[in-house]
Structure 1
């Protein structure tokens, strides 16, 4: 493993390297909690539990410390926002001006955390849904998805600031570099603008007749409904969403196989649901809100949540569920090891940050 920064540099910049080893003298600091754990296991694997959370950055904070930390470290600053916007706009311009007629977009929708306004500082993800002029139906998109992605790769690969990282069944993954030195991972999702061609009721009836695998081709087309559902929420709630997402990204090791962790979207929806249950307060105690969202995660088997924003009925046979407000067939709780997440979350709730709080206490400040 290549170490970009010396440990001396890391000790001089603790704001960049939040996690530290309690055994090493002089102190060794790490950007990721998982990196600290890996170091602990390799250097001090002598029977101690490497998954110690006592020195995790959020564990010992007070309520006032938490608000300051969120403002300084988690909320995107002006420079970061500007850099992200510049990179994404550049990519959109490339697709609009350099793509051939076969790939000409009618519209490009910014989705992901950037599109929904829930980006974490320097940890954002961006999805660009590219509605193609020549594709009018989902069946046609399904038939031509492979050739569309191959053609996109061909043209994107000609740009010096764009690196094609690979593909998924529904997207082309690229990395953008900008003048500031930042890099930005972006998923480009070819799609059909069916929301302008059919009613939501017609789209859902059409999906109902398809297999589960086939329905996945509708996901990107429904992204505008997801964006609208999340982006309309008040600023304080988006701050809490960022905090929850930061906790997920820094507290857990990365997903692998059966140990898959929740993506951002389930966490956004769980947070919104708990906030609504609390009466949808415009302003609230951030620590209390965080506490109640984490308690909901520990009690994930009791989650049964769906919204009637875009549909009245949904299809789900699972014991617990949080339904995608844009897609009545998508339980966002699936394909995640919630048992592991809940177990580690319970440990975190016992840390000093949450001392004095209980499930009977609301979200508002005393």
Structure 2
């Protein structure tokens, strides 16, 4: 592995000498080796310690102490043990404790009993009594554990899944007895062990790295590490992985960069889980909301809603934020191409109050101007290349490159935004030729683009995708700000010409498209790139605040997508964009509207997906045949029907093509979100928006025989 892994110095790949006595001196590509060689404990040592802990447990069970079961806690129980020295807890659930009150009143008495019994043991008799806790030091071949022994009440009654009644009782007793929050967190130790057990080994490796770094920071400042802070960092690491990655094989450098980025934003941190408790029960909900509204940072114990483990009582988070910035800077200096951080927000949308939604969008979803300027310059450079250099020695000419996607529409998110560049080629003279020949043009553009990126000194770096799609060339632009935009370059037939003739050229283009659609097996919307300009203009013309609402809805969609990734295919994001536009057009049409009301209306439309029939007549209408007949057929399809305003064959509602029901289930859950609680303690209501449009509602005259579709 190299001497540096055990401390000291070693030469880097470029011949540079690194001081590798500290984790912050390790290059990003060597972090995984560092974990395995320096931080992971010896498995044999852990087995021997397990034997000691089990021996203590068995001895006490046989010593007339009414222990009904035991649970292992601390980093030992969570499986996040660092090599060398670590903490552990052995929780002894006592049958005589039938309430939280019993534990509070009699815990010290049972600590005394346990102490007296263990003093009779020849091996484990060196104890320290701290009142309600006993401590025993265990050591095996250089691996040490300070094991705490705690008698406790078992509110779970040996069940794995707690009921809301458990947390109601906890809240009730705490209010009556005025006890310190988190005093009974030990009662939920089995849930803690269960919570961490489900995460991959690699996530725990990342936890070890973060914890080791924190301990180094404390050592440098000559202060002792806090067990609460260590637990908070473990949870923050889990949160980062869950929200930003959720794959077992991930880049350790990306993970640590994400955690460090969250630490830098500690003043905004609000992290929680709903695996053991949630917002459904009123008492638990009120407890949760009270906790989540306290001063940041907030990292809530996933097993005990009264236990905030991320409190900043001594300025530790500010210190860590400074150290995190220093480590990130070190990683950037040592690696020519530092790993990209995951897209993780420090504050969840779900618990954001309605009056703070606009600030949430501004703080977390709106791309910064510098990044947008970088992207604009890079895209302009590519478009110029495609127009002037690509196919220079070929009969094929680029008629025009057109910018599309969320970046062109003005609805890009701060992270993971997309942009399309549609290349209209002279050789593609029909929809059919586009279908038959686009693959070869994709390959040629890729070859030329790869050469081009090697000769240009751009602010934005290209990462050509390995995915070989016959219809599109995909790549990623990554800026020095660690923000990225995914690009698709799509060859297309210029169906609308140069748009000089305006609206008059569109009936002909749509007529050709409909004829091909009816006579072949193409999917609806397959040729939507031909109408990119119309799609872009449809969204681009909208007020700024409506674009912000679209960003919010897209962020919500991404959260749902991440949650249900492995289950089914969700409807396209574009459908949600169009629902946002429709909701605003039907009710508000004001530039300054209530964002929470708009968001609530979109979710309401998602919930009513089985009734939706939505279309626009800005680019096509019912005046010309055969467009009239085709549109009437389209809007009588199985609901939901949401027609692309630029392409009448593109039904992004899709009937039963996509799993709208999963999205609707999530939308129903979100109705309980504080996003929809007004400052006047009244629930935010949706706008009164019709779920079905008819030709008549658009002022169109249709045949008397026309009947609406499924209502």
Shorter-normalised TM-score: what interval? 0.7 to 0.9
Q: Which runs of 5+ in 1 are unaligned?
A: 11-23, 40-47
| Alignment correspondent of 2:543 | 234
Q: Are 1:57 and 2:348 an aligned pair?
A: yes
Q: Is the 8 A contact 1:37 1:50 kept in 2?
A: no
Q: For the Cα contact (< 8 Å) 2:371–2:481, is it kept in 1?
A: no
- Per the alignment, residue 642 of structure 2 pairs with 322
The residue number in structure 2 matching 1:333 is 653
**Cα separation, 2, equivalents of 1:240 and 1:347:** 19
Judged with a 3 Å threshold, the aligned counterparts in structure 2 of structure 1 residues 32 and 294 are, in CA distance, closer, same or farther, namely: farther
Q: CA deviation at 1:319?
A: 2.5
What's the offset of the Cα at 1:256?
A: 4.7
- Shift in Å at residue 31 of structure 1? 4.6
Alignment CA distance shift 1:223-1:212 (3 Å): farther
Distance 1:245 1:134 in 2: 36
Q: Which residue of 2 aligns with 1:17?
A: none
User: Which runs of structure 2 are paired with 1:154-233 in the superposition (5 Å)?
Assistant: 154-158=447-451, 159-160=453-454, 161-165=461-465, 166-196=467-497, 199-210=505-516, 211-213=520-522, 216-233=525-542
SS at match of 1:296: helix
In the TM superposition, what are the counterparts of 1:83-102 in structure 2 within 5 Å?
83-101=374-392, 102=394
Higher relative contact order (CA 8 A, sep 6+): 1
- Aligned pair in 2 of structure 1 residues 349, 191: CA closer, same or farther (>3 Å)? same
Superposed displacement of residue 133, structure 1: 2.7
Is 2:597 aligned against 1:288?
yes
**1:142 maps to what in 2?**
435
Query: Quick one: which of 344, 364, 369 aligns to 1:73?
Result: 364
Distance 1:32 1:307 in 2: 41
Unaligned regions of 5+ residues in structure 2, if any? Answer: 1-201, 215-230, 249-273, 280-287, 293-346, 455-460, 499-503, 622-627, 690-711
Measured at CA, do residues 35 and 215 of structure 1 come closer, stay the same or move farther in structure 2, by a change above 3 Å? closer
How many residues matched? 343
- How far apart in 2 are the matches of 1:228 and 1:35? 32
Say whether the 8 Å CA contact 2:431–2:513 is kept in structure 1.
no
Q: How big is the shift at 1:136? A: 2.6
- Corresponding residue for residue 670 of structure 2: 348
Distance in 2 separating the partners of 1:179 and 1:75? 17
Counterpart of 1:21 in structure 2 is none
Q: Distance in 1 between matches of 2:551 and 2:513?
A: 32
SS in 2 for 1:278: helix
Matched ranges for 1:106-145 at <5 A:
106-145=399-438
> Do 1:304 and 1:320's aligned partners in 2 also have CA atoms closer than 8 Å?
yes
Cα distance 1:231–1:105, how it changes in 2: closer, same or farther (>3 A)?
A: same
1:267 paired residue among 568, 573, 576: 576
Please tell me whether Structure 1 or Structure 2 has the larger radius of gyration of its CA atoms: 2
Q: Distance in 2 between matches of 1:62 and 1:215?
A: 40
Cα displacement (A) at 1:134: 3.0
- Relative to the length of structure 2, the TM-score reads 0.44
Q: Distance in 2 between matches of 1:52 and 1:212?
A: 47
Q: Is 1:300 paired with 2:647?
A: no
TM-score, L = length of structure 1: 0.82
Greater Cα shift, 268-277 or 249-258: 249-258
Closer/same/farther in 2, CA of residues 143 and 181 from structure 1, 3 Å limit: same
How big is the shift at 1:85?
Answer: 1.2
CA distance in 2, matches of 1:173, 1:274: 32
